[in-house]
Structure 1
């Protein structure tokens, strides 16, 4: 049995890169924590209520409750961070650990122990933008999870796709700048590789974290692929339309 090289890890991503699929695969191993988007600001009140935290609870208490919920029996914790959420987390941790304020990795390690990072991105940014736009329109972000539809019927929107392509590029560049500025070398995962070999990619992350898949344990997905003929039609239409100013 190998010794874990991390107490905690974060899956760092942008929307529609297969992050929910990857979280489910990692949880299915039984040794890589119970990773969720615990620190997404709109969801914090729901987590706090689920964990029975009082309304006056501070951020340190919230983090300790997340650790308790997101650890497996071996003590490993996992969570997901989208770009933008990271700034929120380190800013709030700076109030809990003021001596480390302004030093992002130090703050994270004060709160989460030895921390490692998995960087998930998608080569086909057009397909990612189409998937993101459709999810925003319909309110359906996951297939096979607990998601419920809450939006409108999907409709093609070239301007919206273009704006999301730009945003994805900006967020990917921001992640890469942050890794470089902090001296972080993340384990990189391509969505396309995850889509082709879910078990292999998951095993690669376990190896990065110094974890062994328990004997007899199967790596199983909790979500289904959502892209369909409509996504393909939007992608083809965007490619063949005249260049946009």
Structure 2
């Protein structure tokens, strides 16, 4: 397994903040594994108009924002992220590969000091994996984004692979925070759906913000993508798992993890 956090062997010159750089009053970093609920939380945060406008700004291939798509101009991305702050609160979303992209090029936390990490997870691992398989097959990553008519096809192997990937991603975050000695705020997808007011207020409290408005789930602009096909795949997977090779999901060896402590510093 190729670890997402493997540190670059190159020694890259990482620029310092310029004299005119103004760090935000608060920085909120939403992170997790794919299909964990990070998109829903980010959409709700943006709709409050007080918790920034979080998105994935540190993808290597950034097609959504062509004005900052050059992967070699990290400073342009940093300025873009800071400019989207609301009331001094800046926010963005990270997956492990995106954190590695950023820290290979800049000391991210010097530009955005004392970040508030909000780690999103999902209780239903199988449902998360099914959602990820469907998104990859159809290229429909949210209800806002059309899948261009591609059809999803059930695959026991792909669901197994995505469960392993999700677990590996969660493991990387575990190692990162353990070595950094940072305790993130933990949020479950199910909590966001059931009690978004409590979740958003807790995040706002950490940023020293009093929310004036709590958006509804409908106002997030996102629709739940789970449907009858998702349920069908679940029961097919459970049935297939009963006849699969026993313990086939157990990895033969644990992946080697690079030292992650320097990423935060």
The normalised TM-score by structure 2 is 0.76
Q: TM-score, normalised by structure 1?
A: 0.82
Deviation by residue 1:180-238 (Cα, 9 ceiling, x = unmatched): 11111100001121122223222222123222102xx2323221111011111111111
Q: Aligned to 1:205, what secondary structure does the other structure show?
A: helix
Who is 1:103 aligned against?
none
Counterpart in the other structure of 1:140: 140
Q: RMSD of aligned C-alpha atoms?
A: 2.0
Offset at 1:56? Answer: 9.9
Alpha-carbon offset, residue 24 of structure 1: 0.8
C-alpha offsets along residues 6-43 of structure 1, whole Å, 9 cap, x if unaligned? 62121011111111111110011111001111111211
- 2:39 paired residue number: 20
Contact 1:6 1:116 in 2 (8 A): no
Q: Please give the secondary structure, in 2, of the residue aligned with 1:78.
A: strand
Task: Single out whichever of 75-84 and 57-66 deviates more from structure 2.
Answer: 57-66
Change (3 A) 1:57 1:180: closer
State the distance in 1 between where 2:29 and 2:164 align: 24
Contact 2:74 2:102 in 1 (8 A): no
SS of residue in 2 equivalent to 1:80: strand
Say which SS state the counterpart of residue 35 (structure 1) adopts.
Answer: coil
Q: 1:201 aligns with which of 191, 194, 199?
A: 199
Paired residues of 1:126 and 1:235 also in contact (CA < 8 A) = yes
- Are 1:65 and 2:65 matched, yes or no? no
Choose which of 54, 60, 67 in structure 2 pairs with 1:50.
67
SS, match of residue 157 in structure 2: helix
Classify the secondary structure of the residue corresponding to 2:105: helix
Asked whether the equivalents of residues 139 and 151 of structure 1 are also in contact (C-alpha less than 8 Å), the reply is no
Q: Whole-Å Cα distance in 2 between the matches of residues 129 and 81 of structure 1?
A: 19
1:41 to 43, 56, 60: 60
- Matched residue count: 218
Cα 1:56/1:138, change in 2 over 3 Å: closer
Unaligned 5+ segments in structure 1 are 94-106
Q: Say if 2:139 is the partner of 1:109.
A: no
CA distance, structure 2, for counterparts of residue 24 and residue 46 of structure 1: 15
Structure 1 Cα separation of the partners of residues 72 and 160 of structure 2: 41
